[in-house]
């Protein structure tokens, strides 16, 4: 990987690698049913970046259109989720934080789509909460 990148990451098997040349625009948790299903988890944690700052190396991620105007990328070898891109945020790519080598450095600042969260997910972490998607919120 390029030593000039700010952040690097890879999927579980290492076939899909990513280099990022900018700080994240935001970091947050998404509780929408689609993100939960795509990750088989209670919520997905993303870091949003400008598309122009993210470069994939190695294997090209596979693409799945999960709903109109939304694509999700994943590794075709190990199945690891890689990213989310939606028409609502045309210049952004939302990378799964756990894809990144230094994931612990990406501290979430909020929860999005909490109206459909799993009822047993604790929301007492003091982070800002958003009921649903909003283009004004600029988060997935």
Instruction: Check residue 11 and give its pLDDT.
Output: 98
Instruction: Check residue 111 and give its pLDDT.
Output: 87
Q: What is the pLDDT of residues 22-79, one digit of tens each?
A: 999 999 999 998 989 999 999 899 999 999 999 999 999 999 999 999 999 999 999 9
Q: Which residue has the tokens 């190396």?
A: 57
Q: What is the pLDDT of residues 99-134, one digit of tens each?
A: 999 999 999 998 888 898 888 988 888 888 888 765
> What are the residue boundaries of the structural domains of the chain, listed by start?
7-129
Length reported for the chain: 140
pTM of the model: 0.87
Q: What is the CATH number of domain 7-129?
A: 2.170.150.70
Render 67-107 in DSSP notation, one character per residue.
Answer: ETTEEEEE-TTT--EEEEEETTSTTEEEEEGGGBTTGGG--
Taking the C-alpha atoms of residue 91 and residue 52, their distance in angstroms, rounded to an integer, is 8
Contact present, 76 and 63 (Cβ < 8 Å): no
Instruction: At 117, list the tokens.
Output: 């969260």
């Amino acid at each position: 990987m390029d030593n000039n990148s700010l952040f690097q990451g890879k999927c579980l098997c290492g076939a899909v690698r990513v280099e990022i040349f900018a700080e994240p625009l935001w970091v947050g948790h998404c509780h929408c049913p689609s993100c939960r299903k795509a990750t088989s988890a209670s919520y997905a944690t993303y870091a949003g970046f400008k598309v122009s700052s993210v470069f994939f190396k190695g294997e090209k991620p596979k693409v799945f259109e999960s709903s109109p105007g939304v694509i999700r990328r994943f590794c075709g070898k190990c199945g690891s989720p890689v990213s989310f891109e939606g028409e609502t945020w045309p210049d952004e790519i939302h990378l799964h934080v756990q894809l990144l080598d230094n994931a612990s450095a990406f501290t979430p600042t909020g929860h999005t789509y909490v109206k459909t969260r799993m009822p047993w997910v604790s929301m007492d972490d003091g982070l800002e909460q958003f009921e649903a998607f909003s283009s004004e919120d600029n988060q997935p």
